[in-house]
């Protein structure tokens, strides 16, 4: 009986569905049971493998919750572009023929520039979390949305790191494609704002076409240059090849600085364990990783990742962005339905006129609800695995931030964070969002870094270029006063006080300065200093070290350092240590000095008495009175002289 009732119910439901389709054929078509979404990736890449697992996990989670799409199913169709731009384009065309409401991808910015034109025509939103080219303007490509932090912010972070460590010049090594090239252009602009610059740009073939010979040729050039700070902006296959060649050339040793873009952090997160040779070649490098704040949802997803991926690959932040991107589309579609919208497609009249061609272009149709779906995506406000998901007016995710990673012997360690809110810090960015932005130099902090070669002291950042010549430093080959400067007989070695001062100054330089000493003179007589200085002015020599006096004629043709030996007449006296007491002031008054002083008083008094005796009554009287008068007069006279002199 129960089986009969079940069959009757099924027949009734089928009859109702058929009747609904006959009476409301358009409504049945406009509300399909499956919402098609396409995804275009190279599945052999790290991000392709991670995204494939994460997007399927998001699809299952969405379909397990009937409240999201009202009982409809979301289907994410995957297309492997296999590093080929042509296959990416073919995949996009196939998706456009099957009523696809949105496409996740493409993986590279090269194809994003191309497919965005197709999306603009057919009103199908493109959402990518890996094509992060700063040149993909929403004004030119309105249907393209970047669902991960744009590379503009990554370049700002690198520029602030360079400025923080006090380096003035960097060398950029990058793959010659749209994303990496435009990223370096952006880096150049951000460095210029901080009074730094890119001294050389080394281009490599687009990933993965770079060969060892290509890398070797560029790194050999860089070895001859003065800058030792190298920014590597590429993808994983080319990036690991660059580090491998750099290791073989000795460019991962003391003195070098390597800063890699986010590709290196994806290798560290998703490839475990690293091959020993790979781990050894990247040791000491700095890299960035998109920062995703900690949350319970994120921890739960990480805990089930091994089950989802069958242990085939480790999770990196772009897997979290892939998961959130699928959810953004699902929420936008749900909102479209709630707004009374439908999923419908209409033919493009311009394509109908081309039906006589072999290409089935008439199958491509315009998504009628594409503009509204795009608007819903841009206005998304949700909290995903990557944290709060919001877009600002420029279509950038709000509060983009990065972890700063330092590769070490045991793997890697985190040395700080960068956020667009407050710059460099050693505390998670989300703790600073509630405070006012503070980008002052005193507020920028990073933990200590282990540099290439195991050094913990910050490298100077550049050396004197090997393709330049040594400084020619002339020294006078003197005969006299050889303590100042002299040439050791039979050798090219020079020594003396002036040489010691020069070597001490060289050690204080923040970079290496190669030089060689050139003796001037025959060694039998002192050379002409005017001729020596004239040769410096003429460019024969680059500088001079010696006891060369600073005189007017010489200062007119060359520059001198500050004098380190005082010239002129001096008094040389023996030094005798004596004890101090209240009567120390009387030491200069020897018995002879006292006798001379007394005689001086008597002579002055006698002269005054002789002049005043005949005319002044005060100078008359008994001898005693006259002596008292003379002494009183001398006292007053000396007092007057003392007051006058002071």
Q: What is the pLDDT of residues 351-396, one digit of tens each?
A: 555 554 445 555 678 899 999 999 999 999 999 999 999 999 889 9
Nearest-angstrom CA–CA distance, 54 and 305: 9
pLDDT digits (tens, 9 = 90+) for 224-276: 888 999 999 999 999 999 999 999 999 999 999 999 999 999 999 999 888 99
Beta pairing, strands 229-233 & 286-290? unpaired
Confidence band, pLDDT 50/70/90 cuts, at residue 58: very high
In the predicted model, is pLDDT for residue 304 greater than 80?
yes
- Domain residue limits, the chain: 34-148+333-376, 151-295+397-443, 471-556, 587-645
Q: Give the three-state DSSP class for 373.
A: helix
Q: Report the topology of domain 34-148+333-376.
A: Rossmann fold (3.40.50)
Contact 207, 235 (CB under 8 A): yes
- The H or E element that residue 476 is part of is strand 471-476
Contact 92, 38 (CB under 8 A): yes
pLDDT tens digits, one per residue of 181-222 = 999 999 999 999 999 999 999 999 998 899 999 999 999 999
Q: Strand 100-104 vs strand 365-367: parallel, antiparallel, or unpaired?
A: unpaired
Contact, 340 vs 368, CB < 8 A? no
Residue 40 token pair = 């275009």
Predicted confidence (pLDDT) at residue 413 exceeds the cutoff of 90: yes
The helix-helix angle for 46-63 and 317-338 (nearest 10°) equals 40
Nearest to 200 by CA among 181, 177, 176, 225: 225
Q: Residue 105 CB: number of other CB atoms within 10 A? A: 30
DSSP letter, residue 245: H
> Smallest Cα–Cα separation from 162: which of 434, 455, 418, 537?
418
* Alpha helix positions (H), 519-590: 529-537, 552-555
The pLDDT score that the predictor gives to residue 61 is: 95
Backbone angles phi, psi at 418, to 5 degrees: -130, 135
Beta partners for residue 102, in sequence order: 37
Instruction: Write 348-352 long-range contacts (CB < 8 A, 24+).
Output: 348/121, 348/122
Separation in Å, CA 116 to CA 122, 136, 179, 223, 576? 10, 9, 15, 40, 92
% of the chain residues with pLDDT over 70? 87
Give the CATH H-level superfamily of domain 151-295+397-443.
Answer: Response regulator (3.40.50.2300)
Angle between helices 591-612 and 623-645 (to 10 degrees): 110
Q: 3-state DSSP call for residue 51?
A: helix
> Would you give the DSSP letter of residue 227?
B
The pLDDT-based confidence of 482 (bands split at 50, 70, 90) is: confident
Which pLDDT value is given to residue 349? Answer: 64
Long-range contacts of 392-395 (CB under 8 A, 24+ apart): 394/138, 395/138, 395/145, 395/146
Q: Higher confidence at residue 594 or residue 44? A: 44
- When pLDDT is cut at 50, 70 and 90, the band that residue 643 belongs to is low
Which range in 387-401, 499-513, 579-593, 607-621 is most confidently predicted, on average pLDDT?
A: 387-401
Q: Do domains 151-295+397-443 and 471-556 have the same CATH topology?
A: no
User: What global pTM score does this model have?
Assistant: 0.72
- State the CB neighbour count (10 A cutoff) for residue 44: 13
d(CA 68, CA 131): 28
Mean pLDDT, to the nearest integer, of 502-528? Answer: 83
Who has greater pLDDT, 148 or 547? 148
Please tell me the CATH code under which domain 471-556 is placed. Answer: 3.40.190.10
Q: Is residue 7 scored above 70 in pLDDT?
A: no
The C-alpha atoms of residue 345 and residue 248 are separated, in whole angstroms, by: 57
């Amino acid at each position: 009986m129960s089986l009969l009732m079940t069959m009757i119910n099924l027949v009734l439901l089928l009859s109702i569905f058929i009747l609904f389709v006959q009476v409301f054929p358009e409504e049945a078509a406009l509300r399909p049971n499956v919402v098609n979404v396409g995804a275009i990736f190279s599945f052999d890449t790290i991000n392709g493998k991670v995204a494939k697992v994460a997007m399927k996990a998001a699809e299952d989670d969405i379909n397990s919750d009937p409240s999201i799409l009202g009982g409809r199913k979301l289907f994410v169709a995957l297309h492997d572009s296999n590093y080929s731009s042509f296959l990416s384009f073919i995949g996009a065309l196939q998706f456009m023929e099957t009523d696809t409401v949105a496409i996740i991808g493409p993986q590279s910015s090269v194809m994003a520039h191309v497919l965005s034109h197709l999306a603009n025509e057919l009103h199908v939103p493109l959402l990518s979390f890996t094509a992060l080219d700063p040149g993909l303007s929403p004004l030119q490509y309105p249907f393209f949305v970047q669902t991960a932090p744009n590379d503009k912010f990554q370049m700002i972070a690198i520029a602030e790191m360079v400025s923080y460590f006090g380096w003035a010049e960097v060398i950029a090594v990058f793959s010659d494609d749209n994303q990496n090239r435009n990223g370096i252009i952006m880096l150049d602009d951000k460095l210029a704002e901080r009074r730094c610059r890119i001294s050389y740009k080394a281009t490599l073939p687009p990933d993965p076409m770079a060969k060892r010979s290509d890398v070797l040729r560029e790194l050999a050039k860089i070895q001859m240059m003065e800058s030792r700070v190298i920014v590597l902006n590429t993808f994983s296959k080319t990036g690991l090849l660059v580090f491998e060649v750099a290791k073989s050339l000795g460019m991962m040793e003391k003195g070098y600085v390597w800063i890699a873009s986010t590709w290196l952090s994806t290798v560290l997160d998703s490839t475990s364990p690293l091959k020993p040779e790979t781990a050894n070649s990247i040791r000491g490098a700095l890299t960035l990783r998109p920062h995703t704040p900690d949350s319970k949802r994120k921890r739960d997803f990480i805990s089930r990742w091994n089950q989802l991926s069958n242990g085939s690959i480790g999770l990196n932040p772009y897997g979290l962005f892939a998961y959130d991107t699928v959810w953004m589309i699902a929420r936008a579609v749900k909102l479209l339905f709630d707004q009374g919208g439908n999923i419908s497609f209409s033919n493009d009249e311009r394509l109908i006129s081309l039906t006589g061609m072999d290409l089935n272009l008439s199958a491509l149709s315009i998504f009628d609800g594409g503009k509204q779906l795009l608007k819903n995506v841009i206005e998304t406000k949700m909290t995903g695995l990557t944290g709060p998901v919001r877009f600002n007016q420029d279509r950038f995710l709000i509060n983009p931030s990065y972890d700063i990673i330092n590769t070490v012997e045991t793997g890697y360690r985190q040395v700080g964070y960068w956020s667009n809110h407050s710059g460099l810090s050693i505390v998670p960015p989300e703790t600073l969002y509630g405070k006012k932005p503070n980008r002052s130099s005193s507020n920028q902090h990073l933990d200590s870094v282990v540099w290439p070669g195991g050094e913990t002291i910050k490298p100077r950042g550049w050396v004197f270029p090997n393709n330049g010549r040594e400084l020619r430093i002339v020294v006078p080959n003197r005969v006299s006063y050889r303590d100042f400067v002299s040439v050791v007989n039979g050798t090219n070695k020079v020594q003396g006080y002036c040489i010691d001062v020069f070597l001490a100054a060289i050690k204080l330089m923040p970079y290496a300065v190669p030089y060689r000493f050139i003796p001037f003179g025959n060694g039998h007589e002192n050379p002409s200093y005017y001729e020596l200085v004239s040769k410096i002015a003429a460019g024969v020599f680059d500088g001079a070290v010696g006891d060369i006096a600073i005189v007017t004629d010489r200062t007119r043709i060359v520059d001198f350092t500050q004098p380190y030996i005082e010239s002129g007449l001096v008094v040389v006296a023996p030094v005798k240590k004596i004890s101090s007491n209240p009567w120390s002031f009387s030491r200069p008054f020897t018995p002879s000095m006292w006798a001379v002083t007394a005689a001086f008083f008597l002579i002055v008094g006698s002269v005054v008495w002789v002049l005043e005796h005949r005319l002044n009554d005060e100078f008359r009287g008994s001898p005693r009175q006259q002596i008292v008068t003379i002494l009183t007069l001398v006292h007053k006279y000396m007092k007057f002289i003392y007051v006058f002199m002071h």
